[in-house]
Amino acid sequence: MQIKKLLKTNEFFLFMVIVLFCVVFGFINPAFFSLGNWFDILKSMIETGILAMGVLVVLISGGFDMSFMAVAVFAMHLICLYFGKYVNDAPLWFLLLCGMAVGMILGVCNSFFVAKCKLPPFIVTLGTSNIISGLCLAFIGSKQVNNIPAALISFSRWNVISVENAAGGRANLHGGIIILAVAAVLTTILLSKTMLGRSIYCLGGNPFSCIRVGFQNNKIIVFVYAFMGTLAGLSGLLHASFQRMSNPYDMVGNELNVIAAVVIGGPRVGGGYGNTVGTILGVLLITMVNNSLVMLRIPTFWQKAVVGLVIILGTAIQIFRYRASRGK
């Protein structure tokens, strides 16, 4: 009985889609199965995966966030510019905490308009995205920062696995994958093992029932957007480390990949449903598709078209499955 239930889950469906893509891409280009390529895919998952954890929580609560990339860029550029110029020897943990703090503050600002002013989350975060981007370019700077803190440079060279490949080079798995794993585990614990997590599901399922049960909706909303902002700030600092510079025009416009990964991972846009396993599988699928299209030398605009198609198909499949389950 448990096996039949598992076979009907969205996670199993996603897993089978990933296996199918692996077979197809591996047949077209055997280099797809190389250890170096899979290490590259895992590294590419780090930023998208961390952001996806925040977007997942927001969607489960029934909200929406279009500002997380702008928040990530703001935190990245501010921290890299200040610490790179004045405190270049700051430790990595302190830099990451500062970036997360900046992101959390911006996330709380989003929650004010959503919780207190009762404005639509999509409109609010779309507006704050432009405000944050404008403030970043006007007051922090519009030029890239090459003198980023030394700890971020050192972190960019940290590999947890380094294996010699058949060509005589080395295949390296970046240590940032550990940060992604920690973020995923903590998000899983938050959603499945805490009363706060249950209140987030309750808010997304039915806000009025949430109030009747005794939860304080506004406080939940503040936490949700602060959580999103915190992970955005963390992702921004990791991006600066990977690129070894801070460019205020980086990342913005890549929201589509993150949203696509989360949507096909299972949560309904209306809220009340979703889990981290489906989201991680969604991140893997989107990253794998983008990586494979690059290997096949397909132009960037086709990559965006494919991701957009994945969002539409993923949403349509979720709605169909939801209607089918309600029909039964």
| pLDDT tens per residue, range 121-150 | 999 999 999 999 999 999 888 889 999 999
68-86 and 92-111 helices, crossing angle to 10°: 140
Longest dimension (CA), the chain: 64
Q: What percent of the chain has pLDDT over 90?
A: 55
Q: What percent of the chain has pLDDT over 70?
A: 93
Of residues 310 and 11, more confidently modeled: 11
Give the integer Cα–Cα distance in Å for 245 and 92: 15
pLDDT greater than 70 at residue 321: no
Q: Which helix (H) or strand (E) holds 174?
A: strand 170-174
Q: Which of 107-116, 219-228, 281-290 has the weakest average pLDDT?
A: 281-290
Give the integer Cα–Cα distance in Å for 192 and 142: 42
What 8-state DSSP symbol labels residue 167? T
Q: Which helix (H) or strand (E) holds 123?
A: helix 121-135
Q: What's the pTM value of the predicted model, to 2 decimals?
A: 0.93
pLDDT greater than 70 at residue 265: yes
Task: Decide if 231 contacts 56 (C-beta within 8 A).
Answer: no
> What is the Cα 82 distance to its own chain's centre?
25
Give the integer Cα–Cα distance in Å for 76 and 33: 34
- Report which of 128, 149, 144, 107 is spatially closest to residue 238, judged by C-alpha positions: 149
